[in-house]
Amino acid sequence: MSSNSKIEWTEATWNPVTGCNKVSQGCKFCYAERLAYRLKRMGNIRYRNEFEVTLHNDLTELPIKWKKPRIIFVNSMSDLFHEKVPLEFIQKVFKTMEKTPQHIYQILTKRSSRLKELSPELKWPHNVWMGVSVEDMRVVNRISDLLEVNAFVKFLSLEPLIGPLDSLQLNGINWVIVGGESGPGSRPMKKSWVESILSQCKDAEVPFFFKQWGGVRKDLTGRKLNGRTYDEMPSTNNDNQLLLASSY
């Protein structure tokens, strides 16, 4: 349940939980759901329940074995703050992250209200980056919820971007990722939407990462915006403390 990741903004994945269900339009063509069904057909026992929420207790301490520092995306195949994941299980995951300060952990959720509710029950070490997915204006409330969380680094994943986001609340946000939808049925992303977000990030001095244009063949559309790539990330020192330097 770990691997070197092909996701552009991380290095590895760790999935102590698998499975989820759709909560908003950003979930419509969920890559994790498609992959889960494929993995079950391939005989992967972790996906015996297909895309039903499944807890893997034997994986909650896996990163302790990884001595070399990594940037780790937590639950690329689920949502740690899903209603079916008990608080006690989430606390186990956080305890492992606290025990492994050599790693940086990136968590994304669409369930920002539960994240906000449980935040006081969790210990937030500096190496945990907490983010919310925001695909269009209908779910910008997730940003307000994130800003009330005790995480040291807070970020936005504006992917799949399926509508304009022209007035983002970026005060208190440390990183923004933008990406178009990819795979079968993918909905197009307008260049003007991306340029608006880039401009807002520049004004707010927030690091901007452009992941992809997307499309059915994302390898053909690439990830250049106006002739260049944008790979900005939050800067941290050896203790995973946030530095305030950013450049474009």
Is there a cis peptide before residue 160, judged by omega within 30 degrees of 0?
yes
* Residue 246: pLDDT band with limits 50, 70, 90: very low
Rounded Cα distance between 154 and 176, Å, is 9
Residue located via tokens 């608080």: 87
Mean pLDDT (whole number) for 205-230: 95
At residue 49, the pLDDT reads 96
pLDDT category at 247 given cuts 50, 70, 90 is very low
The answer to whether the CB of 240 falls within 8 A of the CB of 127 is: yes
**Per-residue model confidence (pLDDT) at position 238:** 64
**Identity (one letter) of the amino acid at 101?**
P
Give me 34's structure tokens.
């498609």
Query: What's the pLDDT score for residue 245?
Result: 43
Q: Given this model, what pLDDT does residue 3 score?
A: 61
CA distance 97 to 102: 9
Q: Do the beta carbons of residue 232 and residue 155 sit within 8 Å?
A: no
First to last CA, the chain: 35
> Over the stretch 1-43, which tens digit does the pLDDT of each residue have?
456 788 999 999 999 999 999 999 999 999 999 999 999 999 9
For the domain covering 2-243, report its CATH number.
3.20.20
Does the pLDDT value for residue 211 go beyond 50? yes
Across all residues in the chain, what is the average pLDDT?
94
Query: CA 29, 108, 159, 139 torsion: positive or negative?
Result: positive
pTM, entire model: 0.94
CA 157 – CA 76 distance, rounded (Å): 13
* Confidence (pLDDT) at 4: 77
CA distance 51 to 74: 17
Higher-pLDDT residue of 50 and 235 is 50
Closest of 145, 152, 87, 102 to residue 125, by C-alpha: 152
Q: What is the pLDDT of residue 236?
A: 74
> How many Å separate Cα 122 from the centre of its chain?
18
- Find the helix or strand (DSSP H, E) in which 38 lies: helix 31-41
Q: What is the pLDDT of residues 138-184, one digit of tens each?
A: 999 999 999 999 999 999 999 999 999 999 999 999 999 999 999 98
All residues at 6 or more sequence positions from 86 whose CB lies less than 8 Å from its CB, including other chains: none
| pLDDT above 90: residue 242 | no
pLDDT single digits (tens) 113-141: 999 999 999 999 999 999 999 999 999 99
Whole-angstrom Cα distance, residue 122 to residue 90? 8
